[in-house]
Structure 1
C-alpha cells in the first residue's frame, strides 16, 4: 500500500487501520514502520504488562528520504507509561537548508559579545537576509504542498477519500454500535435503532 513499511509492533487494530486510511488518503507514510527495530524501540506505551504502539510520525511520501531513523527511546519517558518517539530528519532540500542557515545566523546574533558596532550591524543584516530567504522558501514550499493537496481533493479519488473518512468518523462517534436492545421507563425492551436513540 505504500503507507506502511511493515516493521510495526503487534497487530493492527481499528485505530491503526484508521491511521493507515488517513495516510493513504493524504499521500502520507507512517515513518516509524519503515525501520526495523527491536521491540523495546517500537512500543511507545507500557501498562499492566502490555505494550502497544500508539504514537506515529506521519510524513509526506516525498519527504520519506529525509527521514534517516525513527525509534522509541526506551530509557526516556514523558510519563510513567509513555516512551518518547523520535525521528532523525536529514537536512536535504532547499527549505531545510534556508531554515538551518537562518537558525545559524540567529545563534550568531544572540551570542555576540565584545564585538564592535560594525560587526553587530553586519551580523544583524546577515540574519535579516537569511530570515527573509527562509520565509520565502517556506511560503513557496507550503504553496506547492497545498496546491498538490487541492489537486488531489478535486479529483474523484480525492473526493471519495474525503467521503469515506467522513463516514468512518461518523460511525466512530456513535455509541450505539454494540447495543442490541435497551429498556424504556416502563421496562419494555426496545430494539429499533430510532427508538433507542430517543
Structure 2
C-alpha cells in the first residue's frame, strides 16, 4: 500500500510525473535480489510491492494468503486491512496492491462503479469480499477498468489453470490519474505469478514563492486634513528629538529626524501592502460605486440560482432563472458603462484644469507601467477640445 499527499496549497504551477507501481509475488527472495532488481528496472517500476510466500521470516509471508485458511483468519485479515486503510487521511492518494487471492470475475454484476466490467474468470466468495471492501472504502479495482487481452489480465498461471488474483485498488476520486493497469510478460526463473503494474500520472503543484515587497508610504494622501495632522505631529516630534539629541553629532541627529519623519508618515498616511498579490487583492477599480457593487452582486445571485435550477429544478424553473440572470446581467452591464462614463467625464474635467497638470504626468506614468485596471485613458482632448484617440498623438499632447 502506498499513500501520498493529494494536493498542494497555494498552487500556481502544476507539474505532472508518471509513476509506475508494481505488484509481484516472486515465490521466494532467496538468491534473487539482483535478478529482481534488474527486472523491476527493465520494466521501469518506481514503487514495488513484493510478496514472498516462502521466506524464512514469517513477517515476509504473503499477508493475503486466504487459500485453505479458516473463516476466522480471513476475517482477521480483512479487519486488519480495514483498520489500516481507514487510518489513511482522505486527502491523501491511496494505492493498494497485492495478491488478494480472490476472483472478482469478468463482469461487474451488481458492483458497477467498483468493478469496471473488464475482469477475468468467474467470481467466487473471496472475490465478493474484495468488492465489498472496495465499496466500504470508496475504492475501485483498477484492473477491471482497462480493456486488455487475457494474457494481460491473468496474474497467476500453473499449467492450464489461469486466474486473476492480484489487484490494484485506488480511491474513486483518484482513478482519473490511472493511465494504465496490466500484467507484464512472465519472467523466467520466477513463480507462476506475473508482475502487475499500474501507471499513474500524478499532479504535483509547485508552490510559487512570492517576492516580498517593502511597504511604501502612501505620500499621495498628504493633502487636506491629513497634511495638517502630519505637519503638527512632525513639528511636535522634531521639537522633542532636537531637545533630546542636542549631544549628538550632525549626522546622527539628521538620521534620527529622518527616521522620525518616516514613522510619523506611516502612522498618519499608512503604507502599501507587503506583497504584490496582496496589493492586487486589495486594489479596487477607481470607477466602482455602491450602485455598481449592488448590481454585480444581484447578477451573481441570479447566476447561483441558475446553476441550482439546472441541477435540481425543472426545465420551467431553469428557463425562468435563465431569464432573470440575463436581465440582471444586462442591468449590471448598463450600470458599469454609466459608472465608467461618469468617472471618465470627471477625470477629463479635472485634467483640463490647472491643478490637473500633475495628474496628467501621474496617469502617463501609470499608463507606461500598465498599472491602471481599465485600459488607462482611451482618449484625451487637444487645445481645441477635440478628442485624440491615436496613441502617438496622445503621447505628444501629454508631452
Higher helix residue share = 1
Q: TM-score, normalised by structure 1?
A: 0.46
Q: Which has the larger radius of gyration?
A: 2
Q: TM-score, normalised by structure 2?
A: 0.23
